[in-house]
Amino acid sequence: MVQDSKVALITGGTSGVGLEVAKILSLAAASDAGFKLLGRFDFAFANADIMERANPYEKVQTLPPPHPEFPIIDIGFKGFVYTTWLAQHYFRATPGEGKDLMLLFHSSCTAFYGSQFTPIYAGAKAAIVNFLHSITFLFHHFAGIHAYTICRGGIKTNLMTPEEHAAFPGSTWTPMTKVTGTIEILINRGTVEDSWAKKVEKEANYGLTMEINNDNHYFRDPVEHCDEPMEANMYNNSLEKDPFPVSLWSGP
């Protein structure tokens, strides 16, 4: 029966700005049609991606400068927020007690290190990581949604041309099989261990950010607080302290 199977919603999977924008705009209709057909969603993978082709350093001849077009922000970050917005509502509507729900973001190593060549791309990828850190407590504790981010090193896809691939040494590329294998580890959601031998027990296995490079994978924790007053300030403004998240999640 359909109800016995898990159903995934995956954005992305191809390239081209126009196509990706169209996918984002049509995502609500596609999600609703899929839910009506299958009756559930258990897994959402925000995967849409394009390369940064605009030149943010470009000189112009007039002032004020023309309004810039940076589709990487719309696709590489806003699209992830929109996917999350849709997914949480269809997750809520999925029937069953003890639902096994998962939201996965596809980010990049540039989220940690920046990129002088593609600064807007790097900024969008960093935003994804911080967005995940911000939503994961509420999603896990009050909705049973396990949210994760993968931040992979360079992989060979059609987002870059063969000539662009050739500019990088072969040792810099991460095998696609390593990326998919790491995703499988997260999907299985048991006790996990990274390439630094750091272990996360099953009960704490949610909200992880996983960096993937070459044949290794690493847990990347949020940055440490600069001092105790900052830690206390952030806690006092968090949903972990205030009991209102239940009403926030359930609505009126």
Closest of 218, 221, 214, 156 to residue 185, by C-alpha: 218
The catalytic residue among 82, 90, 121, 148 is: 121
The catalytic residue among 23, 82, 90, 125 is: 125
Encoded tokens for 219? 């847990």
Q: How many helical (H) and strand (E) elements, i.e. helices and strands, does the chain have?
A: 9, 8
Instruction: Work out whether strand 216-219 and strand 209-213 pair parallel, antiparallel, or are unpaired.
Output: antiparallel
Encoded tokens for 230? 């900052």
202 is catalytic: no
156 is catalytic: no
Report how far apart, in Å, the C-alpha atoms of 99 and of each of 41, 92, 207, 230, 249 are. Answer: 10, 9, 17, 36, 16
Catalytic machinery residues? 121, 125
